[in-house]
C-alpha cells in the first residue's frame, strides 16, 4: 500500500469518528507525511526516513509538540497495520525515536491566589477587558469561547457555545446573574447586534489584555490561568469534582479535571486551615 493511500484511509476514519480539532491535529502531521513520501510503499519507509521527517516538522518546537506529532504518526502506523497491512512494522516504536520524542514530564499547574485574581479583575477599568476576564475567571470559559460569544447566545444565566472544543453541539456555560446583567448592559450600550461578536478582537489581543492586567499587580498571567482558577475555587468551595468537571470545565473525564486543579500554595493552605480549624 502506498503511503498517501494509507494516510487517506486513516484521515477518512478520523473524519467519520473524531472531533474536528482531532482531525485538524492529525491532518497537520499526516498530510505532510503523505506529501513527503507520495508514491512510496509504506513498507519501504525506514526508521531513518521517519526520524528525518519528525525532526523536520518539529524543528524549534517544544518537547510536548514533538511528542504529540510522533504519537500521531505512531497511531497512524498502528491503524494501518491493524486494518490494511498486516505485520507492518512501526518505526515510531523504535527506541531511538521513542527517546528523542518522549513525552515531557509535566510541571504541576501554577495556581494564582484568589485574592490576587480578584484584585486583577477589580483593577481593570476597561469594561470590555474586565468582562472578558470575568468570563474566564468566574465561569471557566476558554479565551476562544469568550471571543466567540454573541448576544443571541446569552439566555437565562447561561451562554451557548456554538463551536465548542469538544465538538459537542449546544454546549453551555453557566454564568452568575450579576455578570449576565453587566454583559447585556455592555451589549446595549455598544449597540451590538444579536449575531455580532461581543468581543470582536483577535486571540493575540485578548492574551495581551490578560498579560497586561497581570503586570499591573506584578504577576505573569495567562488566559488559561483564569480558567484554572475558576475550577480550583469551585472545588475548594465544596462543589463536587464531577460538577466542576462537567459544568465548569466541561471535560470528557475526571482525570483531565484532576490535572487541571492546581497544587495548594502556602498562603492558600494557611487560609483554609484558619477557616476550617481556627
DSSP 180-209: HHHHHHHHHHHT--TTS-SS---HHHHHHH
The predicted model gives 119-147 an average pLDDT of 92
Q: Which of 68, 100, 132 is the last residue of a domain?
A: 100
Residue 166 lies in a domain: yes
Whether residues 35 and 80 share a domain: the answer is: yes
3-state secondary structure of 155: strand
Count structural domains, the chain. Answer: 2
Q: How many CB atoms lie within 10 A of CB 21?
A: 12
> Could you report the per-residue pLDDT of 83-115, keeping only the tens digit for each?
988 989 999 999 999 999 888 876 666 677 888
- Domain harbouring 31, CATH code: 1.10.150
Task: Give the number of C-alpha atoms closer than 13 A to the C-alpha of residue 132, restricted to the C-beta side.
Answer: 30
Whether residues 132 and 259 share a domain: the answer is: yes
Q: Which of 67, 100, 133 is the last residue of a domain?
A: 100
| Domain with 150 in it | 114-277
The C-alpha angle 35, 36, 41, rounded to 5 degrees, equals: 95
- Please report the DSSP string for 225-273 in residue order: HHHHHHHHHHHHTT--HHHIIIIII--SSHHHHHHHSPPPPHHHHHHHH
Distance CA 206, CA 189 (A): 21
Task: Give the number of C-alpha atoms closer than 13 A to the C-alpha of residue 56, restricted to the C-beta side.
Answer: 10
Whether residues 264 and 131 share a domain: the answer is: yes
> Could you report the per-residue pLDDT of 149-179, keeping only the tens digit for each?
999 999 988 999 887 766 666 688 899 899 9
pTM exceeding 0.75: no
Task: Pull the grid cell for residue 31.
Answer: 498530510
Whether residues 84 and 174 share a domain: the answer is: no
Distance CA 40, CA 148 (A): 43
Whether residues 144 and 232 share a domain: the answer is: yes
Whether residues 7 and 136 share a domain: the answer is: no
Q: pLDDT tier at 253 (50, 70, 90 boundaries)?
A: confident
> Could you report the per-residue pLDDT of 12-63, keeping only the tens digit for each?
999 998 888 889 999 999 999 999 999 899 999 999 999 999 999 998 899 9
- Domain harbouring 225, CATH code: 1.10.443.10
Whether residues 198 and 261 share a domain: the answer is: yes
Residue 35 lies in a domain: yes
Bigger pLDDT: 192 vs 114: 192
Residue 58 lies in a domain: yes
Q: Which of 69, 100, 131 is the last residue of a domain?
A: 100
The whole-chain average pLDDT of the chain stands at: 87
pLDDT of residue 252: 76
Residue 246 lies in a domain: yes
Whether residues 92 and 147 share a domain: the answer is: no
Q: pLDDT tier at 272 (50, 70, 90 boundaries)?
A: low
Q: What percent of the chain has pLDDT over 70?
A: 90
Per residue in 76-97, is it b (16+ CB within 10 Å) or e — as a string?
bbebbbeeeeeebebbbeeeeb
Task: Pull the grid cell for residue 124.
Answer: 481593570
pLDDT of residue 164: 73
C-alpha 147, offset from chain centre: 14
> Could you report the per-residue pLDDT of 121-130, keeping only the tens digit for each?
999 999 999 9
Whether residues 44 and 135 share a domain: the answer is: no
Whether residues 95 and 118 share a domain: the answer is: no
The predicted model gives 121-148 an average pLDDT of 92
Task: Pull the grid cell for residue 257.
Answer: 479535571
Distance CA 231, CA 190 (A): 31
Residue 105 lies in a domain: no
pLDDT of residue 251: 82
Which residue, 173, 171, 114, is CA-closest to 140?
Answer: 173
Whether residues 144 and 262 share a domain: the answer is: yes
Look at the alpha carbons of 264, 270, 272, 273 in this order and tell me if their dihedral is positive or negative. Answer: positive
Residue 106: phi and psi, rounded to 5, are: -85, 130
Task: Pull the grid cell for residue 70.
Answer: 510522533
Residue 77 lies in a domain: yes
The predicted model gives 222-234 an average pLDDT of 88
Look at the alpha carbons of 153, 157, 161, 167 in this order and tell me if their dihedral is positive or negative. Answer: negative
Residue 108 lies in a domain: no
Distance CA 6, CA 76 (A): 8
Whether residues 95 and 164 share a domain: the answer is: no
Contact criterion met (CB below 8 Å) for 248 and 234: yes
Bigger pLDDT: 241 vs 173: 173
Residue 46 lies in a domain: yes
Amino acid at each position: 500500500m502506498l503511503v498517501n493511500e494509507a494516510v487517506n484511509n486513516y484521515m477518512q476514519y478520523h473524519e467519520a469518528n473524531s472531533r474536528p480539532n482531532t482531525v485538524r491535529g492529525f491532518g497537520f502531521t499526516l498530510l505532510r507525511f503523505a506529501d513527503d513520501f507520495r508514491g512510496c510503499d509504506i513498507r519501504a519507509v525506514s526508521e531513518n526516513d521517519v526520524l528525518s521527517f519528525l525532526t523536520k516538522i518539529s524543528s524549534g518546537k517544544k518537547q510536548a509538540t514533538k511528542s504529540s506529532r510522533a504519537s500521531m504518526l505512531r497511531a497512524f502506523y498502528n491503524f494501518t497495520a491493524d486494518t490494511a497491512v498486516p505485520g507492518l512494522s512501526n518505526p515510531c516504536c523504535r527506541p531511538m525515536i521513542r527517546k528523542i520524542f518522549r513525552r515531557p514530564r509535566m510541571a504541576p499547574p501554577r495556581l494564582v491566589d484568589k485574592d490576587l485574581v480578584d484584585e486583577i479583575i477589580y483593577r481593570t477599568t476597561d469594561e470590555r477587558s474586565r468582562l472578558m476576564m470575568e468570563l474566564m475567571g468566574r465561569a471557566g470559559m476558554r479565551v476562544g469561547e469568550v471571543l466567540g460569544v454573541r448576544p443571541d447566545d446569552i439566555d437565562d444565566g447561561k451562554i451557548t457555545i456554538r463551536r465548542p472544543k469538544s465538538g459537542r453541539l449546544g454546549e453551555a456555560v453557566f454564568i452568575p446573574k450579576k455578570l449576565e446583567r453587566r454583559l447585556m448592559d455592555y451589549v446595549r450600550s455598544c449597540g451590538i447586534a444579536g449575531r455580532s461578536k461581543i468581543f470582536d478582537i483577535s486571540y493575540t489581543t485578548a492574551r495581551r489584555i490578560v498579560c497586561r492586567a497581570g503586570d499591573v499587580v506584578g504577576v505573569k498571567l495567562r488566559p488559561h490561568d483564569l480558567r484554572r482558577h475558576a475550577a480550583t475555587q469551585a472545588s475548594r468551595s465544596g462543589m463536587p469534582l464531577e460538577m466542576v468537571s462537567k459544568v465548569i470545565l466541561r471535560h470528557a473525564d475526571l482525570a483531565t479535571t484532576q490535572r487541571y486543579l492546581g497544587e495548594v500554595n502556602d498562603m492558600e493552605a494557611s487560609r483554609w486551615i484558619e477557616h476550617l480549624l481556627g
